[in-house]
DNA sequence: GATGAATGAGACTTCATTCAT
DNA sequence: TATGAATGAAGTCTCATTCAT
């Protein structure tokens, strides 16, 4: 008696199906508001079945989080692989970041929505994962030709904030991610008062 | 046997004391991770006593949230009252925003930490409150002399994201809020590649 | 809507009633085989109500255990207060020990039935309590005129074992506790091969 | 990937290995505190594998218990086979009993640690097994030249209690089992006030 | 024989909330 | 206003057991 979800993803193993559902729920509602029951219901199994695959709720979160980070890293790496010019690389990275953050069923939203403090058990690991990802952006930012008075760290954090905050206001059907990424980078590069540069 | 908090704020009524404690806890741990018991313990009263002042947990949150919004609005209004030049007004507003967000015991952090979806009962009200505050920034931004190709809404959201994200990385003792505000606004105005303008 | 138990002990507070029921259940079935539900059902309240009085299952056990030890100590103290002759004092102590162990609704049975290892949380405290009681017997035994080749510690442990084992085989209506105590002490004093001493 | 235990007992079949592990765990932690998972983990197999050999948890316990009883009976029979004098036979039996109870990895401890009531399914069988063993001691005691006023049943139960209680206080490295057995029997025979008899 | 996934019941505990006092 | 006891639902997790492979 396969459930809807099983039919939907017939090829996925039990562990994967749990992870998919959990990732989405954690991204939508946060860690505390998502119960193991919720996850079990979404997958179509008993609560006990969850524990055949994961030792604890925090382990599920950690696994989902790690997977999310890994995929964003890969997406950013892929996106930047084809560009040479530093600002182009940055824009490509932002576009990839937004795509995963806003579209793909919570894949990366977990990373933004769940705060390490929410999961004491896994806090240290979560921070480490988050750092791994930030290193990517640190590298990209380090190649930019910023004016000397600009604090590169603060520049990067400003960018990350601008990007991640989009989860708060973005609605499908509105401005697309490519456009969002372009304007954010464009503004941070030349400022909002400078007339548009020739393409 | 008055608790530390009671001694600290001897002039505050029961309702106020609950609100102070709740604000801080909600800001630190979020809505779901904060229990009525936590609040009662922090205030030094019984759980039942809380219900003499508030009808429900969501009402406490809503009240704290509203208070937070009110204070940020007032802080921003005060800060912008003394400046005429639009970009100066913006920077003053950002400084005030950061001050409340980062320093003052969670006064404004609730607004950033708690998402309307966390509290179905009060979601609509929370959104309305958030909007009230955003209107302030919308007004300030509308006075800016932005280049015509800049989407003012996206500009504002970029700024808000940059500011609010600071809660994630800010540590007391590091760069002060005035400096943070100045660089963020500077960057958004002239871009990070433009040599510094004369003060 | 008072339950049978409430009617039975109308004067007891909630905490006391829980303790009475828990003591009996722990004594009968042991720590692990007794669930909070069992206790709640015996008292006639909800499971949650238990937690208004005790922080955890182990705290209930610890409290019951402590109460049991306290009462046995008091019983032994009372029983030995009226006797001067060391062997009479010992016999009186044994009689008191057996009375509480075998008759009074588990009051002291907890101490014998539950092993410290069963309750990791409280193991240290349980051992300390058990020691407090054993000190009583150590004192009484130290006054006896034992032959020099007798190890007093082993003598005491032999006695305690003989007494406590009675919980295993004792059935109401059989030999009464006074007789049991007399013969055990008699045998340990003069041996089972010596013809009975004149009373 | 054989586990330590498998290497340790390479000749044992699956059933035997389960029994060895279960015996030790039941003896150490009791019936309720030992889970099938614990046993499986100790043996190094899956939970399901246990059910290829035993129909239920209580069946494992019953088998382990029966094995324990059988071995103690055999040990006592062997020990008493070489002695003729009744008190010597008793002392030899006690020594054998203590050896199995205190040393050999729980072989006989199960019998003392697990109470029939703990396992409703097997309670009757457990009592029957316990009785089989007690018959041995009943026989040995019946040969003793006790004074007429001594209740032989109570004498035997006193002895069993003294012996079994040792599990509570015995620590390896302290008094050895032979000495313990000698003093207990000596005390029960001649009393603790009688100067030592010539060997 | 053995595995791994699953079940359904039940474990302890915490939650928001109510209410008589 | 405030307390303390109680409720009922829900939380995470473990249990003995089953069964297709």
Tens-level pLDDT at each residue, chain B (199 residues): 344 444 455 567 789 999 999 999 999 999 999 999 999 999 999 999 999 999 999 999 999 999 999 999 999 999 999 999 999 999 999 999 999 999 877 788 999 999 999 999 999 999 999 999 999 999 999 999 999 999 999 999 999 999 999 999 999 999 999 999 999 999 999 999 988 765 5
Q: In chain D, which residues have their Cβ closer than 8 Å to the Cβ of C148?
A: 195
Rounded CA gap, B121 and C4, in Å? 42
Q: Which of B67, B149, B62 is nearest to B107 (CA)?
A: B67
pLDDT in tens, D147-163: 999 999 999 999 999 99
Give the pLDDT of residue C84: 93
Q: How far is B2 from chain A (nearest CA, A)?
A: 30
Q: What is the dihedral of CA B70, B75, B81, B86, to 10 degrees?
A: -100
Give the pLDDT of residue C12: 76
What pLDDT band is residue C79 in, cutting at 50, 70 and 90?
Answer: very high
3-state secondary structure C37-93: HHHHHHHCCCHHHHCCCCCCHHHHHHHHHHHHHHHHHHHHHHHHHCCCCHHHHHHHH
Compute the radius of gyration of chain C from its Cα atoms: 19
By C-alpha to C1' distance, E17 is nearest to: B56
What pLDDT band is residue C7 in, cutting at 50, 70 and 90?
Answer: very low
What pLDDT band is residue C81 in, cutting at 50, 70 and 90?
Answer: very high
Q: In chain C, which residues have their Cβ closer than 8 Å to the Cβ of D155?
A: 183, 187, 192
Averaged pLDDT of chain C: 92
Per the rule left: phi > 0, alpha: psi between -120 and 50, beta: everything else, A46 is beta
Helix (H, G, I), strand (E, B) or coil at D84: coil
Q: How far is the CA of C48 from the C1' of F9 (A)?
A: 11
Q: Give percent of chain C with pLDDT exceeding 90.
A: 86
What pLDDT band is residue D133 in, cutting at 50, 70 and 90?
Answer: very high
Helix (H, G, I), strand (E, B) or coil at B107: coil
Averaged pLDDT of chain A: 92
What pLDDT band is residue A179 in, cutting at 50, 70 and 90?
Answer: very high
Q: Is A123 on the interface with B (CB under 8 A)?
A: no
pTM for this predicted structure = 0.90
Give the pLDDT of residue B108: 86
Q: Is C175 on the interface with D (CB under 8 A)?
A: yes
Q: In chain B, which residues have their Cβ closer than 8 Å to the Cβ of A189?
A: 191-193
Averaged pLDDT of chain D: 92
Q: Is A35 on the interface with B (CB under 8 A)?
A: no
Pair D184, D159: CB distance under 8 Å: yes
Helix-then-strand count for chain D, H and E: 10, 0
What pLDDT band is residue D9 in, cutting at 50, 70 and 90?
Answer: low
Pair A143, B192: CB distance under 8 Å: no
Residue D184 has pLDDT above 90, yes or no: yes
| Lowest mean pLDDT segment, chosen from A150-164, B138-152, C8-22 | C8-22
User: Tokens for D11?
Assistant: 């000749």
Q: How far is the CA of D46 from the C1' of F2 (A)?
A: 56
Q: Is D85 on the interface with C (CB under 8 A)?
A: no
pLDDT in tens, A46-90: 999 999 999 999 999 999 999 999 999 999 999 999 999 999 999
Q: Tell me if there are at least 3 CB pairs under 8 Å linking chains D and B.
A: no
Give the pLDDT of residue D10: 55
All domains in chain A, ordered by first residue: 57-190 (1.10.357.10)
Q: How far is the CA of D48 from the C1' of E2 (A)?
A: 7
Q: Give percent of chain A with pLDDT exceeding 70.
A: 93
CB atoms within 10 A of CB C73: 17
Cα C17 to Cα C21, C35, C49: the distances in Å are 6, 16, 12
């Amino acid at each position: 008696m396969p459930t809807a979800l099983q039919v939907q993803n017939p090829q996925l193993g039990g562990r994967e199906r749990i992870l998919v559902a959990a990732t989405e729920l954690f991204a939508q509602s946060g860690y505390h508001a998502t119960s193991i029951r919720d996850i079990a219901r979404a997958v179509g199994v008993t609560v006990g079945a969850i524990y055949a695959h994961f030792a604890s709720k925090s382990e599920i979160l950690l696994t989902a989080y790690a997977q999310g980070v890994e995929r964003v890293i890969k997406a950013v790496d892929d996106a930047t692989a084809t560009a040479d010019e530093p600002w182009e690389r940055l824009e490509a990275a932002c576009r990839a970041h937004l795509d995963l953050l806003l579209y793909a069923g919570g894949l990366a939203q977990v990373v933004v929505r769940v705060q390490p403090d929410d999961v004491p058990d896994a806090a240290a690991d979560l921070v480490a994962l988050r750092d791994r990802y930030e290193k990517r952006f640190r590298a990209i930012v380090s190649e930019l030709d910023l004016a000397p008075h600009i604090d590169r760290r603060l520049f990067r954090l400003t960018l990350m904030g601008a990007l991640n905050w989009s989860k708060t206001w973005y609605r499908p059907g509105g401005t697309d991610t490519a456009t969002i990424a372009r304007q954010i980078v464009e503004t941070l590069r030349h400022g909002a008062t400078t007339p548009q540069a020739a393409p």
